[in-house]
Structure 1
Amino acid sequence: MEPDLEVVQIRPGESFAAWSHGYPFRTVRWHFHPEYELHLVVATRGRYFVGDFIGEFEPGNLVLTGPNLPHNWVSHIPKETTVPLRCQVVQFSEQFIAGVQAALPELAALQPLLERSRRGVLFSDETSRQVAPLMQELMDAQGVRRIELFLSMLGHLSRGQHKALASASYLPDPSGYMSVGINKALAFLRENLTQPFTEAELAAIAGQSTSAFSRAFRKHTGMTLVQYVKRLRINLACQILMSDEQAAITDICFEVGFNNLSNFNRQFRAEKGMTPSQFRLLRMDEQKDRGSRRRPSPEKTAEIDGKTSAGFAARDKDRFAQTRRRTPGTAEDGQAGTATGPG
Structure 2
Amino acid sequence: MKILPFKIPKPEQEALVYQEDSGILFYDKLHQHEEIQISYIVSGEGSIVVGDTISDFKANDILVIGENVPHVFRSDSQNSTKSVMYTLFFTKESFGKEFFALSDMTRLQKFFEESGYGMKILSENERLTHLFENLKNQSRIQRIATLLNMLDIMISSDKQPLSTFVYRKKYTEDEGNRMNNVIDYALSNFHEPFSLEEVAEKANMSKNAFCRYFKKRTNKTFFQFLIEIRIEHACRLLFKDNDLPISEVSEQCGFLNIANFNRKFKELKGVTPTQYRKFTIEKWRDKYSKSA
- Give the TM-score taking structure 1 as reference length: 0.47
CA distance in 2, matches of 1:213, 1:36: 36
Are residues 1:215 and 2:212 paired?
yes
| 1:186-201 matched pairs, under 5 angstroms | 186-201=183-198
Deviations 1:158-190 (A, max 9, x none): xxxxxxxxxxxxxxxxxx879822321221112
Are residues 1:140 and 2:140 paired?
no
Contact 1:20 1:139 in 2 (8 A): no
CA distance in 2, matches of 1:264, 1:201: 23
Query: Aligned to 2:266, which of 269, 275, 279?
Result: 269
| 1:65-214 matched pairs, under 5 angstroms | 86-88=113-115, 89=118, 107=133, 110=136, 124=144, 126-140=145-159, 180-214=177-211
Contact 1:182 1:206 in 2 (8 A): yes
| 1:32-71 matched pairs, under 5 angstroms | 33=72, 38=88, 59=100
CA distance in 2, matches of 1:226, 1:209: 16
The CA deviation at 1:193 is: 1.8
Other-structure match for 1:229? 226
Contact 2:237 2:249 in 1 (8 A): yes
Q: Please say which of residues 205-214 and 217-226 is displaced more in the overlay.
A: 217-226
Contact 2:4 2:176 in 1 (8 A): no
Other-structure match for 1:3? 4
Other-structure match for 1:68? none
Three-state SS of the structure 2 residue aligned to 1:18 is strand
Unmatched 5+ stretches in structure 2: 6-29, 32-48, 74-84, 103-109, 121-129, 161-172
Are residues 1:259 and 2:243 paired?
no
CA distance in 1, matches of 2:90, 2:245: 43
Deviations 1:227-268 (A, max 9, x none): 111111111101011110100000000001111110100000
Query: Aligned to 2:280, which of 273, 279, 283?
Result: 283
Query: Residues 179, 278 of structure 1: CA spacing in aligned structure 2 closer, same or farther, 3 A cutoff?
Result: closer
Other-structure match for 1:18? 63
Query: Residues 178, 139 of structure 1: CA spacing in aligned structure 2 closer, same or farther, 3 A cutoff?
Result: farther
Other-structure match for 2:240? 243
Larger radius of gyration: 1
Other-structure match for 1:315? none
Aligned-residue CA RMSD in angstroms? 4.4
Contact 2:187 2:229 in 1 (8 A): no
CA distance in 2, matches of 1:288, 1:2: 40
Three-state SS of the structure 2 residue aligned to 1:86 is helix
The CA deviation at 1:59 is: 3.2
Three-state SS of the structure 2 residue aligned to 1:223 is coil
Contact 2:111 2:155 in 1 (8 A): no
